[in-house]
């Protein structure tokens, strides 16, 4: 095995107060913990071949953005994990490469309708008390 590409990406959007905790947990599971788990599984094989990990992250891991905290947080985590992994793997000759594509929503096919749908679902799940504070 010469390489592993980690490209997990699920991008929920919404204001912090709108986003249920379960959405943060799912974003963490999909975007960060899956990268760590796949890396742990394939690391022994890549160490033998002096291969490489390619982790696709996002510029959103370095640049905070309103309505995108679940995504920004986990992509920052993948950035930090990748940098730590790179330092640890240097002695084994295993490369760790970060790829940071730009504007996710324009090339992903994610439509305004889908984004509004996410927002609507989060609003509907919010308590009446929280809605009253915001509205």
Give the CA diameter of the chain: 58
CA separation for the pair 23, 84 (Å, rounded): 26
Question: Is the C-alpha dihedral spanning 102, 104, 109, 115 positive or negative?
Answer: negative
Would you state the torsion angle of the CA atoms of residues 90, 6, 79, 93, taken in this order, to the nearest 10 degrees? 0
Q: Looking at 24, 71, 104, 116, which residue is catalytic?
A: 71
Q: Is 71 a catalytic residue?
A: yes
Residues annotated as catalytic (active site), given as ranges = 71
């Amino acid at each position: 095995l010469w390489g592993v590409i980690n490209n997990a990406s699920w991008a929920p959007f919404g204001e912090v107060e709108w986003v249920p905790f379960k959405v943060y947990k799912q974003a963490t599971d999909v975007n960060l913990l899956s990268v760590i788990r796949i890396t742990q599984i394939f690391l022994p094989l890549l160490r033998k071949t002096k291969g490489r990990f390619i982790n696709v992250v996002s510029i959103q891991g370095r640049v905070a953005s309103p309505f995108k905290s679940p995504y920004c947080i986990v992509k920052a985590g993948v950035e930090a994990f990748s940098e730590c992994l790179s330092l640890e793997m240097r002695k084994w000759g295993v490369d760790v490469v970060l790829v940071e594509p730009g504007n996710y929503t324009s090339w992903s096919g994610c439509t305004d309708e889908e984004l509004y749908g996410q927002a609507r679902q989060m609003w509907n799940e919010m308590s009446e008390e929280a809605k009253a504070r915001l509205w």
